[in-house]
Structure 1
Amino acid sequence: MERSTRQRQAIRDTLREADRPLSPGEILEHARQQVPGLGIATVYRTINALVEEGSVVVVDLPGEAARYEMAGKQHHHHFHCTSCGKVFELMACPGDLSWLAPPGFRAERHEIVLYGSCPDCPGA
């Protein structure tokens, strides 16, 4: 087990307090409020360790760099703002979409990403 450090705790706090998946850069920006000298290499190293231990999960969006959020959340989907690039959680799910699979195929899971503008961006 890795020892707890101020840097590690700041990164955990940042992910826990976020209401959306964060990029490593966003994690760095927010965690630096607690630990001003925090560097991006420490963020990546810590994220990898947290993913490996299972307390953080990767949020993959097509064509985008990975983002991260705390594990243990209910099944949910995401909204990607095409103006600012932020990703937000959608807490609703349309349910079983296996009927969309071609005949003979067996759907095992689904992920949905909505794209558009968030309320903070022009055109919202």
Structure 2
Amino acid sequence: MAAGSRLGERNTRQRDTIAEVIRDAAGPLTVPEIFERSQQSIPGLGIATVYRTVKLLSEAGQLQAVILPSGETRYESAQLGHHHHFHCRVCQTVYDMQTCLVRVPESRSVDRGFVIESHELTCYGVCPACA
């Protein structure tokens, strides 16, 4: 049975809460961040449940992994469309940026024959709350 079918068969309060935490975030979250925020609504929630749910939602195409240049993996809704991220060096929060700062000729051959299919960008600096 496909992951999407399993996902549709059984909705749990935990799954709904985890999906809502990710959907309401200002940027992609790590599993520990998802766990911490979800525990505010479900105090007895276990970290293993969060890992399983993130895996299930990813397999169902509802989440996508954001892998920062540091190698850290975070998760966000797959429905956000093309966007970039801003990583605050002070508070370590990663925010979604609504504008694309790079205009790249996608699907065209550039510099020595490289064909660009997509791009990702993470900016680093200080967020307004930490400035």
Per the TM superposition, whether the score is higher than 0.5 is yes
One-letter identity of the residue aligned with 1:30: R
One-letter identity of the residue aligned with 1:52: E
User: Which of the numbers 106, 109, 112 marks the counterpart of 2:118?
Assistant: 109
User: Which of the numbers 22, 28, 31 marks the counterpart of 2:35?
Assistant: 28
- Counterpart secondary structure, 1:64: coil
Structure 1: distance between partners of 2:86 and 2:103:
19
- Counterpart secondary structure, 2:59: helix
Give TM-score, length-normalised by structure 2.
0.85
Aligned 8 A contact 2:109 2:115 in 1? no
- Please say if 1:82 is aligned against 2:97: no
- Counterpart secondary structure, 1:120: coil
Cα displacement (A) at 1:100 = 9.8
Deviations 1:46-101 (A, max 9, x none): 00100000001111101132111111112100001111111001110135323894
In proportion to residue count, which structure has more helix?
2
Structural RMSD (CA): 1.7
Q: Which moved more, 1:40-49 or 1:1-10?
A: 1-10
Structure 1 runs not aligned, ≥5 long: none
Structure 2 runs not aligned, ≥5 long: 1-5
Give TM-score, length-normalised by structure 1.
0.90
